[in-house]
Every structure is written in structure tokens, then in C-alpha cells.
């Protein structure tokens, strides 16, 4: 949770909080700091959070959890499936001008419908793309497109359904003259050493020159992803046990309001960007239409609950970090900042800081801390 709130949560939530009694003058909310300064905020924030929640090591250390780890094992089939996915990303569409049509083919055709030898309105079109067997045409025409030779002209007898929308055609027998111009075929590249060597960078596995090297690299990538997912799953299971029945006295008012303010600004930005696309001219209607809430108050209540859930997790993880000397380095923050810059199309992490301010060091710093604590929790639990 909590990766780059100003961007990643831009389409998430919004709320207007009434606030609670402030109990600390020292604030835990994000402030403009350098990456090097973040580590020094961990204990300070933890001391603030301990005013709101009390969590001892027995609640999270050496806990026994139930977890099916088979889902985190990378099989040869998973590797081949991933490679097939990569190949499909580079597939090309070709126009096949010979052969016979079959069900599920995507074809390009011309057609002209005639009732008693006279063309009827809406029954003629050229260069139409159609999936044979999709049922978008009336049944007789849809099924009559199976088994046709590309380039040849056919007369297909058809009868419109008796309940057809046009009373002029309902129940009438007509003739559709059709010609299939071509069949659209998706050509998936053949996996060969030469293909890998030429496309490794595009596939995201730069440096691979053979199929075997690609398989090895894909497997290593999937195993890394699986390991990261396993760490997160184990940590989540421990967190659930640790917080089950946990008493929360309150939440840091200024930090909660900061979070809600960010979400509020983000949803307003989203509405300003996409509202006209939906033909919506006010924020409350946008919230009701796009998010499905009865009214803005209901949305605000949901958003407040979400923000508190996020903040509780942040408080618990930060306390665990402080109590177990878990920290974050400037390199970790800068490395993740660089990854986010690449992901969101920025030149570098400094470009993000220029747009969002050095508060992002605090936000990304917590995201790094979250990952480090998750690893700690996963390493200090056992599977039932």
C-alpha cells in the first residue's frame, strides 16, 4: 500500500474528514525531506503512532500461518505460457486472400440484400469486418458465411426472424449476395534463436540471443516475482493475525487529513480530465456514475474507512520497523524513485520531485520501509 499517492492512487478515493482531537504537536505527516533524511523519521513517527496503537512483538514474531505455497512455484508450463504471451505481443495481422472461411474467422466482406429482387434499406455494405459465427448478423446469414471461398461471390437465401425490429423485413425471405474479400489472420512469430536475438530488447529480456537463454531469463524473472509475492502473502497473513482485535485509540489527525486531501485533489483532477467524456458536469454525479455510490456522503464514508485502513497499516509497520531496527537507505529510495520515473514516463526521479515536491521522498521512503518490514515478517513466521 502507499506507492506514490499523488500518482498511483490518482483514481482511487476521496473524502472530507471532520477530524478528531489532535494529541501530538509533532507531526507524522509527509514533509519535504531528502532521501537521506527519511531514515531519521522512522523512530519519530513510531513514537507518535504508539499513542494510537499498542502492538507488542508477541503479536507478530514467530507466528504460525496457514498458506498454500504451491501457487508460488514456477513450473515449466508457466514459463512456456509467459513466453507465449510475449510472442503474442508481437503478433501481426495478415490479409489472407485465398482459402475457405470457417467459424470464428474474422473476415472482410461486401454484401447486398435484396427483397423480391430489390435492394432494401440498410442491407448493403462494403469492406465490412465480421467474425463468422458471432451472431451479429441474422442467423441464416451468419451461418451462411461458413465454408465460402475467398474472392468468390455467393447468393445466400435468408429469412428474417418474425420478431425482427423492422416490420418491413420481419419474417421475409431475402437473398444476400456476398463476397469475402479476405480473412484476417493473426500470425504469431515462431520462437527461434534468430527471433530471440533480434527481438530480445522488445520482449524485455535484453541480452538473450537464444531460445534457451530466453527460457532461463523468463524463469528467473517469474521466480523473482513469485518470491516477492510469497513474501507479501506471508507478511499479510502475519499482519492479519497481529491486528485481529487490535484496539485503535485514534488516528493522527494531520496525517489523516493530509491523506484525505490528496485523495480529494486526485478525484477532482480525475473528474476534470474525464468528466466531459462521460457527459457529466458536476463532481457528485461523476462519483455516483463512475464509482456507483448512492451519493457523495456515502463515497466519503468509504474513502475515510479506506484511508484509516491504510494509515493503521502504516502505523503498525512503522512501529515494527522502529522496534526491530529496520530502516531504509537513500539508495533504496532513489532506486525506487528511478523505477517510478521510468514507469510513469518521467526523465528521472528528480523530475518527479520537481513536480510533486520532496514530500515524495517520505512517501517512497515508507513504501521501501513497507517492503523491508514485509520481508522481516515473512522471515519470522512458520507455515502450519
Report residue 264's pLDDT band, with 50, 70 and 90 as the boundaries. Answer: confident
At residue 4, does pLDDT exceed 80? no
Out of 22-26, 91-95, 118-122, least confident range: 22-26
Which H or E run contains 298?
helix 296-323
Report residue 26's pLDDT band, with 50, 70 and 90 as the boundaries. Answer: low
Give the separation between CA 264 and CA 268, rounded to whole angstroms.
6
The DSSP-derived string for 141-186 is: HHHHTTTPBTT-EEEEEEE--TT-S-TTTTT-EEEEEEEEEEEEEE
Following CA atoms 112, 114, 119, 122 in sequence, which dihedral angle do they give, to the nearest 10 degrees? -60
Per-residue pLDDT reduced to its tens digit, 283-323? 999 999 999 999 889 989 988 999 999 999 999 999 999 99
End-to-end Cα distance, the chain: 26
Q: What is the mean pLDDT of the chain?
A: 91
Per-residue pLDDT reduced to its tens digit, 321-341? 999 999 999 999 999 999 999
Task: Look up residue 259 and give its three cell numbers.
Answer: 491523506
For helices 211-243 and 296-323, the axis angle rounded to 10 degrees is 100
Q: By three-state DSSP, how is residue 114 classified?
A: strand
Sign of CA dihedral 351, 318, 38, 235: negative
User: How many angstroms separate the Cα of 325 from the Cα of each of 7, 44, 380?
Assistant: 30, 13, 15
Which H or E run contains 249?
none
Q: How many CB atoms lie within 10 A of CB 323?
A: 15
Going by C-alpha positions, the residue among 106, 130, 81, 243 that lies closest to residue 185 is 106
Going by C-alpha positions, the residue among 211, 185, 270 that lies closest to residue 80 is 211
Going by C-alpha positions, the residue among 108, 144, 151 that lies closest to residue 126 is 108
Q: Which residue has the higher pLDDT, 261 or 1?
A: 261
Task: Look up residue 208 and give its three cell numbers.
Answer: 538473450
Question: Region 196-222: what's the mean pLDDT?
Answer: 97
Going by C-alpha positions, the residue among 239, 313, 268, 248 that lies closest to residue 53 is 248
Per-residue pLDDT reduced to its tens digit, 94-127? 999 999 999 999 999 999 999 999 999 999 999 9
CATH of domain 93-187: 3.10.50.40
Question: Region 249-268: what's the mean pLDDT?
Answer: 91
Give the separation between CA 78 and CA 82, rounded to whole angstroms.
6
Which H or E run contains 12?
none
Q: In the chain, what are the domain boundaries? A: 5-55+246-383, 93-187
Let me know the angle formed at the C-alpha of 321 by 315 and 323, rounded to the nearest 5 degrees: 100
At residue 48, does pLDDT exceed 70? yes
Sequence-distant (≥ 6) Cβ neighbours of residue 129 within 8 angstroms = 106, 107, 108, 184
Centroid of chain to Cα 66: 27
Assign residue 137 a region (left: φ > 0; alpha: ψ between -120 and 50; beta: otherwise): beta
Question: Region 184-189: what's the mean pLDDT?
Answer: 94
Query: What pTM does this model have?
Result: 0.73
Give the separation between CA 85 and CA 110, rounded to whole angstroms.
34
Out of 27-31, 93-97, 210-214, least confident range: 27-31
Give the separation between CA 182 and CA 200, rounded to whole angstroms.
32
Amino acid at each position: 500500500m502507499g506507492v506514490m499517492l499523488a500518482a498511483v492512487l490518482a483514481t482511487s478515493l476521496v473524502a472530507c474528514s471532520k477530524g478528531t482531537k489532535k494529541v501530538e504537536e509533532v507531526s507524522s505527516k509527509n514533509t519535504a525531506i531528502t532521501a537521506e533524511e527519511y531514515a531519521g523519521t522512522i523512530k519519530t513517527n513510531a513514537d507518535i503512532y504508539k499513542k494510537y496503537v499498542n502492538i507488542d512483538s508477541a503479536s507478530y514474531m514467530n507466528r504460525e500461518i496457514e498458506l498454500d505455497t504451491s501457487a508460488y512455484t514456477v513450473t515449466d508450463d508457466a514459463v512456456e505460457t509467459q513466453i507465449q504471451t510475449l510472442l503474442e505481443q508481437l503478433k501481426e495481422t495478415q490479409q489472407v486472400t485465398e482459402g475457405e472461411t470457417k467459424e470464428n474467422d474474422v473476415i472482410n466482406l461486401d454484401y447486398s440484400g435484396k427483397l423480391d429482387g430489390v435492394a432494401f434499406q440498410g442491407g448493403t455494405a462494403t469492406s465490412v469486418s465480421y467474425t463468422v459465427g458471432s451472431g451479429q448478423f441474422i442467423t441464416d446469414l451468419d451461418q451462411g458465411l461458413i465454408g465460402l471461398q475467398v474472392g468468390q461471390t455467393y447468393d445466400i437465401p435468408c429469412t428474417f426472424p418474425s420478431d425482427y425490429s423492422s416490420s418491413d423485413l420481419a419474417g421475409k425471405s431475402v437473398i444476400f449476395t456476398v463476397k469475402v474479400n479476405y480473412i484476417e489472420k493473426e500470425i504469431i512469430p515462431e520462437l527461434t534463436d534468430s527471433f530471440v536475438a533480434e527481438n530480445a530488447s522488445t520482449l524485455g529480456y535484453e541480452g538473450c540471443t537464444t531460445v534457451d537463454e530466453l527460457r532461463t531469463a523468463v524463469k528467473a524473472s517469474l521466480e523473482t516475482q513469485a518470491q516477492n509475492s510469497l513474501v507479501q502473502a506471508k507478511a499479510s497473513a502475519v499482519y492479519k493475525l497481529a491486528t485481529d482485535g487490535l484496539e485503535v485509540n485514534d488516528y493522527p489527525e494531520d496525517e489523516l487529513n493530509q491523506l484525505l486531501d490528496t485523495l480529494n485533489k486526485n478525484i477532482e483532477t480525475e473528474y476534470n480530465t474525464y468528466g466531459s467524456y462521460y457527459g457529466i458536469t458536476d463532481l457528485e454525479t461523476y462519483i455516483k456514475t463512475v464509482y456507483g455510490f448512492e451519493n457523495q456522503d456515502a463515497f466519503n464514508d468509504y474513502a475515510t474507512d479506506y484511508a484509516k485502513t491504510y494509515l493503521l497499516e502504516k502505523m503498525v509497520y512503522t512501529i515494527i520497523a522502529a522496534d526491530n531496527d529496520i530502516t531504509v537507505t537513500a539508495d533504496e529510495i532513489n532506486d525506487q524513485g528511478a523505477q517510478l520515473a521510468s514507469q510513469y514516463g518521467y526523465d528521472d526521479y528528480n523530475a518527479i520531485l520537481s513536480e510533486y515536491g520532496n514530500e515524495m521522498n517520505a512517501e517512497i521512503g515508507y513504501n521501501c520501509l513497507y517492503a523491508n518490514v514485509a520481508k522481516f515478517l515473512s522471515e519470522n513466521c512458520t507455515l502450519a
